[in-house]
Amino acid sequence: DAAEYSSRKEALEVIGCIINNPSLLDDYSLDAKDFENLVAKAIFKAVEKLHSDGSKFVDADMIESCLDKYYPTDYRIYQKSQGINLLGQAVT
């Protein structure tokens, strides 16, 4: 459905922006609950955590490690939903 595609595309664009520039989280009020897509929500949580821990740069390995360590339920969702594909789309 077109609305679902639009929502997913928008989530990918936002996730991609914050992955490529985590310091955007300092300027914009954004929360995991702002994402409907569970994989986007999981990725956001990881990027937010990494940024709050002082990371200036974020990559896929860091996101996956963070999910595995701090958000195991979200990590399982990420894995089962082939989150690496969504992550790759978001970054590009």
DSSP states along 19-71: HH-TTHHHHS---GGG--SHHHHHHHHHHHHHHHTT-S---HHHHHHHHHHH-
Report the pLDDT value the prediction gives residue 4, as an integer from 0 to 100.
Answer: 58
Global pTM value: 0.88
pLDDT tens for the chain, 92 residues: list them. 545 555 778 888 999 999 999 999 999 889 999 888 899 999 999 999 999 999 999 999 999 999 999 999 999 999 999 999 989 888 88
